[in-house]
Every structure is written in C-alpha cells, then in structure tokens.
C-alpha cells in the first residue's frame, strides 16, 4: 500500500478499537498526524496513542460524544485551532445492537440512529466546513454491508448504516465530488 499522507492531519472517530484503531495505525505509520476520538474507550485510545508515538508517529486522543452537536463543534474548532487544517476525516464511530424488530424499543432504535448516523452527519458537516475553506480534504464514511442487504435481527442497525450510505452519496453530489462506482462482491462493498 502506498499512502501519501506525510504531514497530513487525520481525524479517526471511534479510533480506540476495531476498524478505527487499524485505520489510525495505518495513517500514523504512513506519516499523518492522527487525532483519535473516543466516547467510552479512553484506555484503548490512549494505549493506541502510546503505541503510535513509540514507533515515532504522532497522535493524540480526544474524548468527544460525536452524536452531540455541541461536542462536535468543540472538537472541530479545537482541531482547526491547534492544527490549522484537517486533511482526512475517517467517520468510523458506531455501535452495534441486534434485536428482532418487534423486540426493538424506540430508545434502542433512536440510540443506533444517533450514534451511527447522526454522528456522521454532524462530523461530515463540520469537516466540510474546514475542508471547503482549504479547498482540499478527504472524508471517508464507514458503513456496513448490512445497510445495503439487511440482516435478520438487525433492522435498526441496518437503518442506521443505510442512512450513512445515502448521506455520503448525497453530500458527495452536493460538494461536486467524484464517487467511485460501487459493486457488491462477497458480502463487501468494493470500489471498482
């Protein structure tokens, strides 16, 4: 893999665990300054920062509930103030809850939509605000094949992930960005 992110500032939401952690590692190893957000996984996020700095990379972890508009505003103001720019935003934070639809409470549904979809909306809007001023930047939204195909026992989760896909495609068109064509292959959404 040949990433050209040397000297870039990258934000990875939900970067303390799972996919976010792996993305943050790759970006840091390729030379980006990585800002990792977490809501509940402080220990994991701080551990990743130590891991990155131990190999000569640069990173910091910031606590933010990115489903809350005021916290997103503070986060992005802080990034712009401290770094002067934002080159890459990987919108990865999310939760999974599984339950049959008839057993899913309205509160469970609302929580999935808030944490998975609303957070992407808020962060995407804030990132676009910075990136449009600098006339550059990349936003990567992490969704799930479940948002395309659905899955038994995951109707609410699927709805939250489908919302991310629709939001991402629509914002790309609004911002006159080129989207890669997508096709389904082996249960993955793969750029062609």
The helix (H) or strand (E) run that includes residue 142 is none
Burial group, residue 102, by CB count within 10 angstroms (0-12, 13-18, 19+): exposed
Residue 139 is assigned to a structural domain of this protein: yes
Span 21-40, pLDDT tens digits:
999 999 999 999 999 999 99
- Give residue 187's pLDDT: 42
Span 103-118, pLDDT tens digits:
999 999 999 999 999 9
How many structural domains is the chain composed of?
A: 1
Catalytic annotation, residues: 157
List the domain range (segments joined by +) for residue 57.
9-191
Cα–Cα distance measured from residue 191 to residue 67, given in angstroms and rounded to the nearest whole number: 28
- Give residue 184's pLDDT: 45
Cα–Cα distance measured from residue 114 to residue 70, given in angstroms and rounded to the nearest whole number: 14
Residue 137 confidence class, pLDDT cut points 50, 70, 90: very high
Residue 3 is assigned to a structural domain of this protein: no
Span 38-47, pLDDT tens digits:
999 899 999 9
Span 52-62, pLDDT tens digits:
999 999 999 99
Domain holding 102: CATH number? 3.40.50.720
- What are 152's two structure tokens? 């038994």
């Amino acid at each position: 893999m040949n990433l050209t992110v040397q000297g870039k500032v990258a934000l990875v939401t939900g970067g303390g665990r799972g996919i976010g952690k792996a993305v943050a590692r790759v970006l840091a190893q390729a030379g980006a300054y990585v800002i990792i957000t977490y809501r509940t996984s402080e220990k994991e996020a701080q551990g990743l920062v130590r891991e990155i700095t131990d190999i000569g990379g640069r990173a910091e972890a910031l606590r933010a509930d990115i489903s809350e508009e005021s916290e997103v505003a503070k986060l992005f103001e802080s990034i712009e103030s401290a770094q002067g720019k934002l080159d890459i935003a990987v919108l990865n934070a999310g939760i999974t809850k599984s339950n049959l639809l008839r057993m899913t409470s309205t509160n469970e549904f609302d929580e999935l939509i808030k944490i998975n979809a609303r957070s992407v909306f808020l962060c995407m809007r804030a990132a676009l605000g910075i990136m449009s001023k600098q006339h550059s930047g990349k936003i990567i939204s992490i969704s799930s094949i479940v948002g395309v195909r659905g899955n038994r026992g995951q109707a609410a989760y699927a709805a939250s992930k489908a919302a991310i896909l629709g939001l991402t495609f629509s914002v790309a068109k609004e911002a006159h960005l080129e989207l890669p064509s997508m096709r389904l292959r082996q249960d993955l959404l793969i750029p062609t």
